[in-house]
Amino acid sequence: MFLVKGFDADVHMDGGGLWPARLRSSLRVQTNEEVIDMLASHSTQIRRVRFQCLLLARTGVKPAWTSAAGLVLALWSPFLGSGPAQAEVSQPSFVEVEPILRAHCQACHQPGEVAPMSLRTFEEVRPWARAIRRVVASGDMPPWFADPTVGEFRNDARLSDDEIETVIAWVEAGAPQGAPLPSGGAGAETPEWHIGSPDLVVEMPEPFLVPAQGSVEYVYLRMPTNLGEDRWIYALEVQPGARSVVHHIDLLVCPRGCEADADLAALEPGVATQLAGSPITEKPRPRSESSVDGDDLEFLASFLPGGRPLQLPPGAARRLAAGSELILNIHYTPNGAAVADQSRVGFVFGPKPERRVLSFFLDNWTLWIPAGQADYELTSSAWLAEDVELLGLTPHMHSRGKAATVVVQTPSEAPEPVLSVPRYDFNWQITYLFEEPKHLPAGTRIDTILSWDNSADNPHNPDPTRDVPWGRQTSDEMASVFVTLSVPPDTEPSEVFARR
């Protein structure tokens, strides 16, 4: 028996009265049993409807049919012709599938990118067809972890229902090529810069050699911009030189000398330096009770697997002050072959904007996760001192990270969840960009609720027997949410959050 619940009527496909006489007549069959036999012979169509049922259970999104009659028509619409001959079923080819891959997959799945295979041509895609169907139907790809019932995001990577059905139907039809694509089947070649021709490029002075094996401490590099005047950043691209070993790069900016941070001030400009993990066990950093970082060390952008270059909303830009210095924070992951990396950053400048974009780390350096604890939760809070527009959120933990929720409470309204990531994945550091900026008045409290799994049941846990502090290395943990917002252009970072 096949049972579907949640529509105008429950549907029991067991031969017990589902099939009206006129439907049996149009299908040239006499009994319900013959209908079931015919349905079994057309497994592709029933699998499509079964997939729609699974999609309903997973996301709550109803397909076009919402009744028992609608389900019957969905199952049989390809076979209900006007005459005795069966209607032909239109099957998609690679012509219909390639635009879906180009829009959702090829940013990672192309030569030189982080994905293990390229998916630009039919010849590249065809051997992976069944694997593609599996990860698309399960929702594992493209990677996206936000709860669809909380917030709307302009960079939502999920495929639409129609796109999922197209991919599944194509695979089940044998993954046909169809007509050759106008371009010969290959996606456009990757441009040197996705942001166009940069106005300024800052590159590591010397390559950094990443060993074939072992653990590499986080690499920090302090580089002067040599700017004689303030500039406004409208687009920014962080490019790793050796993508195969670069897990991520954070780009920060500080005033000349970086005197507010002793570790960074001690760096020799232009020299890549490794800083050890677990600094909280050696030298607790000074912090405010609101756990806000970003007043004197401003976060600009990141390179992340599958991420896009920074493109700011119309009328908004980041400021790069005269004489400021860039800090590259690079996390390397050896992959079995020694590789030299020489990363760089490109900037596109423009006039003074209507809104200034700022990012802050909402963090908690008191983090301490007991050994073996499967669901350790920590809530941190920060209060706004100025009116802002909230643009995006980036939860950041390491391999024990489990879930993340961000809740805002304005002075006059009830708490509102704005982001929920029930299944955090360290391998995908996603910035969730709101479809529309969210206005938050002064006095708003921002709560970050993060949880970790430090038990032996976590397959990604490097050591469940260890108490885990806040630290830079993947073997340690972090309790961060990067908050990106916009303010009037003359607002300074130190004015945005209240100190409590």
pLDDT tier at 291 (50, 70, 90 boundaries)? low
pLDDT greater than 50 at residue 493 = yes
Classify 399 as helix, strand or coil. coil
% of residues, the chain, pLDDT over 90: 54
Does the bond joining 142 to the residue before it have cis omega, within 30 degrees of 0? yes
Check residue 263 and give its pLDDT. 79
pLDDT greater than 80 at residue 399 = yes
pLDDT greater than 80 at residue 103 = yes
Cβ-count burial 187-199 (b if 16+ within 10 Å, e if not): beeeeeeebeebe
Mean pLDDT across 178-191:
67
Classify 86 as helix, strand or coil. coil
Structural domain boundaries of the chain?
Answer: 3-79, 94-172, 200-495
Q: Under CATH, which number does the domain 200-495 receive?
A: 2.60.120.230
Nearest alpha-carbon partner for 114 in 242, 243, 264, 25: 243
Q: What is the pLDDT of residues 112-151, one digit of tens each?
A: 777 889 999 999 999 999 999 999 999 999 999 999 999 9
Residue 442 token pair:
């002064």
For residue 332, with 0-12 CB atoms within 10 Å meaning exposed, 13-18 middle and 19 or more buried, which class applies?
buried
Q: What is the pLDDT of residues 23-77, one digit of tens each?
A: 344 344 444 444 444 444 444 444 445 444 544 444 444 444 444 444 444 454 4
Question: What is the side-by-side strand order in the sheet with 376-383?
Answer: 376-383, 445-452, 401-409, 416-421
Check residue 111 and give its pLDDT. 81
Q: What is the pLDDT of residues 22-33, one digit of tens each?
A: 334 434 444 444
Beta bridge partners of 329: 220, 250
Beta bridge partners of 1: none
CB contact set of 144 (below 8 Å; sequence gap of 6+) = 156, 157, 158, 430
Nearest alpha-carbon partner for 169 in 35, 80, 78, 87: 78
pLDDT tier at 349 (50, 70, 90 boundaries)? very high
pLDDT greater than 50 at residue 234 = yes
| Distance (Å) of CA 254 to CA 223, 297, 323 | 10, 5, 9
Cα 61 to chain center, whole Å?
21
% of residues, the chain, pLDDT over 70: 76
Mean pLDDT across 229-247:
92
> How many residues belong to the chain?
500
Q: Whole-number mean pLDDT of the chain? A: 81
Check residue 264 and give its pLDDT. 81
pLDDT greater than 80 at residue 275 = no
For residue 313, with 0-12 CB atoms within 10 Å meaning exposed, 13-18 middle and 19 or more buried, which class applies?
middle
pLDDT tier at 218 (50, 70, 90 boundaries)? confident
CA distance 40 to 367: 56
CB contact set of 249 (below 8 Å; sequence gap of 6+) = 238, 240, 302, 303, 328, 329, 330, 331, 343
Give the chain's end-to-end CA distance (angstroms, integer): 61
pLDDT greater than 90 at residue 276 = no
